[in-house]
Amino acid sequence: MKDFWHRFRANKGGIIGLALLAAIVAVALLAPLLFPGNPWKMVARPFVPPFEGMKFPLGTDTVGRNVAAGLAYGGRVSLLVGLVSTLAALLIGIPVGALAGYFGGRIDDLLMRVTEFFQTVPSFALAIVIVAIFQPSVVSITLAIGIVSWPPVARLVRGEVMSLRQREYIEAAILQGLSTPAIILRQILPNAVSPIIVMASLMVASAILLESSLSFLGLGDPNLMSWGYMIGAARTVIRQAWWLSLFPGVAIVLTVLALNLIGESLNDALNPRLSRRRS
Amino acid sequence: MDIEPTLSIEHLTVDLPEGADRPHAIRDVSLQLWPGRTLCIVGESGSGKSMSANAVMGLLPKGVSVGAGRILFGGRDITHLSEAQYQELRGQGIAMIFQEPMTALNPLMRIGAQIAEVFEAHGRLAPAERAARALQLLREVGIPDPERAQFAYPFQLSGGQRQRVVIAMALALEPRVLIADEPTTALDVTTQAQILRLIKDLQTRHGMAVMFVTHDFGVVSEIADDVAVIELGELVEQGPAEKVLKAPDHPYTRRLIAAIPTVEFRDEPAREEPLLRVRDLVKEFRTGARVVKASDHVTLDLMRGETLGIVGESGSGKSTLGRAIVQLVTPDSGTIEMDGKDISHLRGAALRAHRKRIQMIFQDPYASLNPRARIGRILTEGPIAHGRPRAEAEARARELLSLVGLKASAMERFPHEFSGGQRQRIGIARALALEPEIIVADEAVSALDVSVQAQVLDLLEDLKQRLGLTLLFVTHDLRVAGKICDRIAVMQKGRVVELGSVEQVFRAPREAYTRSLLDAAPGLEVQP
């Protein structure tokens, strides 16, 4: 563990990413304290430009809502959806990949055809359809993102499990009379955890992007403020009020960047042999 | 002698990066290479023997650098050349051949073109002549049918042929020094003997100086004129081969030579009670249209309490036989009987219950232990899966650790904290945890250094006597088989070609193939 932290620290990007993400998470968590009251509430005249007073540092939007409050509350939705939908994707992808990789043969064929079915349908279009069918809500959006993003997890886990299955220690476990579930859960998966963690950190980022895109199209949860919704609502006035789309846009970029930096750094720390050579 | 050494290493020290297990890979080493003579550098893994070869070629890995001393080649110091100067030197002055010929060749280039590329890189010969010279070199290193072979890709050649190609490339520019880093370790014994003969032959013909890095004293006795022994980076002994092998001065050299397994004939009464009967076992592997018969109607009995050696070259089916007996592979046909019951078609719970009777020790001590499991867990999960209470299994694991010569505190540690030999002991403890009747050892000592190998062999022998085990010992090394086995089965192309007591197989082999294996085994001495 100490060793891991040491290697993680060796990559400056990871530290920057971690600090950035910590700041974003802190603002999102503290939103009700920083901005008491509903972010949907109109608090001033519309189109107050940013940096003109301490009261509305990032200005107000088309109907006079506080942009800063919107960003803080929107962060809660983005992070929550990103995290939960990634967990959902892992929950589907890991078992599918593990079973396909361990048993091979027909089971592998069957599970991989199903996976390919999901991979061949454009994921964004599928997400739109799912959200549209189930009515836009946080639950349906999270579910939709989870459903469209598990296939890469399944493929990754399948490949890892296939190669780990050939190891002598797995054969030794078979000879020791361990049951198949015990071998998969206790011998194989713990050794495949590193690439899964790396992939998951990057998936949170892409889930946040997907959620923003859905909200941008107006398929977000109508009761919750979100970054994508803010950009979507501001696109008609982009020439008069640049700040309405810029700030949520920057928020998305920074969050995704932070997660990517962390993912990269995790990759270096967890797979020291694969990482670029440090001299 | 008034001739100059071709290459002379003077007080060379190679520094390791900070945080390595010792400050220097090699320290204050002085060696001379003479034209027409072979210097063998012998040492165990981690001794720094390969580093000395890499230092000469300017191929030290990142972070490793020459700390002191110099290397003189033809009177010129080559210790601190620039990369361009090294490129000039490599191939023309000093050439190198590597351990694994498959990875030393470009898999996408025909071998003739690869040899011709050597000339191109150094701007030698007209383009038209290069191919002709490549062909000539292939002929010289004894590639069969060189006219056709020059258009072959590396994967189409056997391991020995690939090594010949690598040697041809090394010889292309007539270097004065040839450095060979374990060039025969990845090869079968018969192939190894051929390659050793080829190197010897070429050396006399071209008057080269050869530096031969190896861990195997058998190979040393076949090829060396001079020997240098390295222990943990220090040169402990050097001298003419005759002297170092017959009358070594340094205790480390004596220990290494004593550790070489020697054939022992036992006068124990033959054991007659079969514990395991293999009958007409067939296993084929298919890749596309190619069918490999790994087991071709194998029939043999394993007697209770004996050690049966299965020897053969790679691809002979010896491992498949071992794996079929422990049921990691399912045979296509034939039976494996234990107590009169066919065990080769057990499934599910019956198979899991049966597994504890036959256990296996694996070849690679680095790959056979789960890197994320503590030793305690590795040794207890089998017994617990078979219904033992945890506390009892843990007590038993501690006993086993002391039985294989490790401390009970090992329970809390992870595999990477142990050396190769210690890991192999853990592997043995794991095999014993289920109190099996038969242990299959698949090349169990092949990956270990000779001194460690000797210890592990002694341990196995001791455990076998104490616990009344029956051992099936799969190995490619006849010396090891001769030391530990009561009977030996020689396999070739999936068939058992000869089966008999060690004495009969070594002294009076019935088959020509067995005889060729015995002839090829380096350093094998059997009193007639």
Q: What is the DSSP annotation of B187-222? A: S-HHHHHHHHHHHHHHHHHHT-EEEEEES-HHHHHH
pLDDT given for residue B23 in this prediction = 85
| Rounded Cα gap, residues A102 and A165, in angstroms | 7
Confidence label for A56 from pLDDT (cuts 50, 70 and 90): confident
From B371, B433, B434, residue closest to A191, measured CB to CB: B371
Query: pLDDT tens digits, residue range A199-209?
Result: 998 899 899 99
- Smallest CA–CA distance, residue B413 to chain A, in Å, is 14
CATH of the domain at B83: 3.40.50.300
Does A169 touch chain B if contact means CB atoms closer than 8 Å? Answer: yes
Q: What percent of chain A has pLDDT over 90?
A: 53
Q: Are residues B228 and B168 located together in one domain of the fold?
A: no
Q: Per-residue pLDDT averaged across A172-187, rounded?
A: 92
| Rounded Cα gap, residues B173 and B481, in angstroms | 42
Q: Are residues B4 and B86 located together in one domain of the fold?
A: yes
pLDDT given for residue A279 in this prediction = 33
Q: Are residues B161 and B252 located together in one domain of the fold?
A: no
- Superfamily of A2-45+61-270 according to CATH: MetI-like (1.10.3720.10)
Please list the residues that pair with B235 across neighbouring strands.
B230
Cβ contacts of B427 on chain A, cutoff 8 Å: 172
Q: Per-residue pLDDT averaged across A145-168, rounded?
A: 93
Q: Are residues B41 and B162 located together in one domain of the fold?
A: no
Measured CA distances, B36 to A33, A57, B93 (Å): 86, 85, 15
- Whether residue B190 is contained in a domain is answered as yes
pLDDT given for residue A117 in this prediction = 92
Q: In what order do the strands lie in the sheet with B226-231?
A: B76-77, B65-73, B7-15, B24-33, B234-240, B226-231, B38-42, B209-214, B177-181, B94-97
| Rounded Cα gap, residues B418 and B431, in angstroms | 18
Q: Are residues B179 and B71 located together in one domain of the fold?
A: yes
Residue B160 vs residue A250, higher pLDDT: A250
Q: What is the pTM of this model?
A: 0.83
Cβ contacts of A178 on chain B, cutoff 8 Å: 381-382, 385
CB distance A177–B352 less than 8 Å?
Answer: yes
* Tokens at B200, concatenated: 């010897």
Residue A272 in this model has a pLDDT that exceeds 80: no
Domain range for B425 is: 371-434
Measured CA distances, A275 to A10, A212, B493 (Å): 12, 32, 42
Does B62 touch chain A if contact means CB atoms closer than 8 Å? Answer: yes
pLDDT given for residue A275 in this prediction = 46
Listed residues B434, B467, B487: the one ending a domain: B434
The chain-wide mean pLDDT, for chain A, equals 88
Number of other residues whose CB lies within 10 A of the CB of residue B305: 17
| Rounded Cα gap, residues B24 and B4, in angstroms | 29
Q: Are residues B159 and B204 located together in one domain of the fold?
A: no
Nearest chain A residue to B383, by CA: A176
Confidence label for A278 from pLDDT (cuts 50, 70 and 90): very low
Residue A277 in this model has a pLDDT that exceeds 90: no
From B62, B368, B372, residue closest to A190, measured CB to CB: B372
- Smallest CA–CA distance, residue B356 to chain A, in Å, is 7
- Smallest CA–CA distance, residue A162 to chain B, in Å, is 15
- Substitution target in A175, A183, A189, A279 with the highest count of B β-carbons within 10 Å is A175
CB distance B355–A277 less than 8 Å?
Answer: no
Cβ contacts of A190 on chain B, cutoff 8 Å: 372
CB distance B382–A167 less than 8 Å?
Answer: no
pLDDT given for residue B228 in this prediction = 94
Q: Are residues B81 and B179 located together in one domain of the fold?
A: yes
- Whether residue B41 is contained in a domain is answered as yes
Q: Are residues B407 and B425 located together in one domain of the fold?
A: yes
pLDDT given for residue A273 in this prediction = 54
- Smallest CA–CA distance, residue B34 to chain A, in Å, is 37
Cβ contacts of B353 on chain A, cutoff 8 Å: 177
CB distance A168–B367 less than 8 Å?
Answer: yes
Tally of domains in chain B: 3
For helices A12-29 and A67-103, the axis angle rounded to 10 degrees is 120
Q: Are residues B35 and B10 located together in one domain of the fold?
A: yes
ipTM > 0.95, yes or no: no
Does B436 touch chain A if contact means CB atoms closer than 8 Å? Answer: no
* Tokens at B65, concatenated: 């650098």
CB distance B367–A187 less than 8 Å?
Answer: no
- Whether residue B472 is contained in a domain is answered as no
From B367, B373, B386, residue closest to A177, measured CB to CB: B386
Residue A39 in this model has a pLDDT that exceeds 90: no
Q: Are residues B7 and B66 located together in one domain of the fold?
A: yes
pLDDT tens, position by position, for chain B (528 residues)?
Answer: 457 888 999 999 998 887 777 888 888 999 999 988 999 999 888 888 888 888 888 888 888 888 888 899 888 888 888 888 888 888 888 999 988 888 889 999 999 999 999 998 888 888 888 999 999 999 988 888 888 888 989 888 888 889 899 999 998 888 999 999 988 887 888 888 888 999 998 898 888 999 999 988 888 988 999 999 999 889 999 999 999 988 999 999 998 888 888 888 877 777 888 999 999 999 998 877 778 888 999 999 999 999 999 998 888 889 899 999 999 988 999 999 998 888 888 888 889 889 989 999 998 888 899 988 899 999 999 999 999 999 999 999 999 999 998 999 999 998 988 888 899 999 999 999 999 999 999 988 888 888 888 889 999 999 999 999 999 999 988 889 998 999 999 999 899 999 999 989 998 899 999 999 998 888 777 665
| Rounded Cα gap, residues A158 and A60, in angstroms | 49
Residue A1 in this model has a pLDDT that exceeds 70: no
pLDDT given for residue B2 in this prediction = 55
Residue A187 in this model has a pLDDT that exceeds 80: yes
From B63, B371, B385, residue closest to A279, measured CB to CB: B63
pLDDT given for residue B302 in this prediction = 93
Nearest chain B residue to A277, by CA: B62
| Rounded Cα gap, residues B358 and A176, in angstroms | 10
What is the number of residues in chain B? 528
What is the number of residues in chain A? 279
Number of H helices, E strands in chain A: 12, 0
pLDDT given for residue A155 in this prediction = 95
Answer yes or no: are the C-beta atoms of B146 and B138 closer than 8 Å: yes
Q: Per-residue pLDDT averaged across A42-47, rounded?
A: 81
Listed residues B245, B260, B275: the one ending a domain: B260
CB distance B433–A191 less than 8 Å?
Answer: no
Q: Are residues B115 and B39 located together in one domain of the fold?
A: no
- Whether residue B148 is contained in a domain is answered as yes
Does B369 touch chain A if contact means CB atoms closer than 8 Å? Answer: yes
Residue A273 vs residue B312, higher pLDDT: B312
Q: Which of residues 328-357 of B touch A (CB under 8 A)?
A: 328, 352-353, 355-356
Q: What are phi and psi of B156, to 5 degrees?
A: -85, -5
- Smallest CA–CA distance, residue A16 to chain B, in Å, is 27
Q: Cβ neighbours of residue B451 under 8 Å, at least 6 residues apart? A: B44, B255, B256, B259
